[in-house]
């Protein structure tokens, strides 16, 4: 991880009508960092990602990437929504290709990436299926594969593994770590699962209830591969658990 700042959030404030959600939030994400954000339900985690991607206007403050205001045309950002979304008229393979197509990626590279990620999430057999023929967890795998295929500079993930069975979840967590190490991408990953946050992250940002502020930022330098039963692992998990007990 470098010292270079990838994403900088300064005095970010966002409300919906009278409801103040994000209350003067500031933090930075370094290039190549894997940041997990945990916070109570409804505190504004999705609102933050939507604000970053300009789906929402913010009231005040700023979010920059590489020192400039976010520009979705220039900045390579992939966003895996909490409500995962596939395109119903496209097959599994076409859905995964879509992200690369809009980036005008060459055919050979596109084919290689699509094959790799389809294999990774176990969907090769289902490449010609349409979303209506898939289970919820398979749909989620399509969305994850589409994001991974573009090897983005910044990968935003909003509780992406919540619906998956445990075995697949562990597999995709490890794949995510492999991809992250291979590409040096910066990841912001939202989860309710503290163990998952400690397993994946370099750092965990704990948010408060609304109006939401950053409660604490916890460094997580544990060596990888991590073992959930290791005493150092348990220690960090307990620190985070202690913080969220007082939500």
Nearer to Mg ion, 93 or 158 (CB): 158
Out of Mg ion, ligand ATP, none, what residue 44 binds, judged by CB under 5 to 8 A for its kind, is ligand ATP
Out of Mg ion, ligand ATP, none, what residue 69 binds, judged by CB under 5 to 8 A for its kind, is none
- Residues forming contacts to ligand ATP in the complex (CB under 6 A) are 16, 21, 39, 41-47, 82
Rounded CA separation 166/112 (Å):
28
Q: Which of 46, 124, 137, 193 binds Mg ion (CB under 5 A)?
A: 46
Please name which of 104, 133, 103, 129 lies closest in space to residue 118, comparing C-alpha atoms: 129
Q: How far is the CB of 190 from Mg ion (least distance, A)?
A: 7
Burial classification of residue 229, based on how many CB atoms lie within 10 Å of its CB (0-12 exposed, 13-18 middle, 19 or more buried): exposed
Q: How far is the CB of 35 from Mg ion (least distance, A)?
A: 16
Q: How far is the CB of 58 from ligand ATP (least distance, A)?
A: 13
Cross-strand bridge partners of residue 187: 34, 155
Cα atoms in the Cβ-side hemisphere of radius 13 Å centred on 85:
10
Cross-strand bridge partners of residue 14: 22
Q: How far is the CB of 241 from Mg ion (least distance, A)?
A: 20
Q: How far is the CB of 82 from Mg ion (least distance, A)?
A: 5
Q: How far is the CB of 207 from ligand ATP (least distance, A)?
A: 8
Nearer to ligand ATP, 22 or 149 (CB): 22
236, 224 contact by CB (below 8 A): no
163 binds Mg ion (CB under 5 A): no
Q: Which residue stretch of 75-83, 94-102, 128-136, 170-178 sits at the interface with Mg ion (rule: CB under 5 A)?
A: 75-83
How many helices (H) and strands (E) would you count in the chain? 7, 10
Q: Which residue stretch of 20-28, 44-52, 90-98, 122-130 sits at the interface with Mg ion (rule: CB under 5 A)?
A: 44-52
Out of Mg ion, ligand ATP, none, what residue 29 binds, judged by CB under 5 to 8 A for its kind, is none
Q: How far is the CB of 2 from Mg ion (least distance, A)?
A: 29
Rounded CA separation 160/1 (Å):
23
Three-state DSSP at 13 gives strand
Contact residues for 208 (Cβ-Cβ < 8 A; gap 6+): 39, 40, 43, 214, 215, 247
Nearer to Mg ion, 13 or 82 (CB): 82
Nearer to Mg ion, 45 or 215 (CB): 45
Nearer to Mg ion, 80 or 117 (CB): 80
Rounded CA separation 105/98 (Å):
10
Nearer to ligand ATP, 118 or 194 (CB): 194
Contact residues for 182 (Cβ-Cβ < 8 A; gap 6+): none
- Which residues contact Mg ion by CB under 5 A? 45-46, 82
């Amino acid at each position: 991880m470098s010292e270079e700042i990838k994403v900088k959030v300064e005095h970010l404030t966002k409300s919906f009508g009278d409801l103040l959600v994000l209350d003067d939030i500031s933090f930075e994400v370094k290039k190549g960092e894997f940041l997990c954000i945990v916070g109570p339900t409804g505190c504004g985690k999705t609102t933050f990602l939507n604000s970053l991607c300009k789906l929402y206007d913010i009231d005040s403050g700023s979010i920059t990437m590489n020192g400039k205001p976010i520009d979705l045309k220039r900045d390579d950002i992939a966003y895996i929504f909490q409500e995962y979304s596939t395109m119903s008229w496209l097959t599994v393979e076409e859905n995964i290709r879509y992200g690369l197509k809009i980036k005008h990626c060459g055919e050979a590279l596109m084919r290689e990436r699509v094959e790799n990620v389809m294999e990774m999430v176990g969907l090769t057999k289902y490449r010609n299926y349409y979303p209506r023929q898939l289970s919820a967890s398979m749909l989620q795998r399509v969305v994850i594969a589409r994001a991974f295929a573009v090897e983005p500079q910044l990968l935003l993930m909003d509780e992406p593994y919540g619906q998956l069975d445990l075995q697949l979840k562990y597999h995709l967590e490890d794949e995510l770590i492999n991809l992250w190490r291979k590409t040096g991408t910066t990841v912001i990953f939202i989860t309710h699962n503290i163990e998952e946050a400690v397993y994946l992250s370099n750092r965990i940002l704990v948010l408060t209830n609304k109006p939401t502020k950053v409660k604490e930022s916890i460094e997580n330098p544990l060596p990888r591969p991590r073992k959930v039963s290791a005493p150092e692992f348990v220690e960090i998990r307990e620190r985070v658990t202690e913080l969220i007990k007082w939500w």
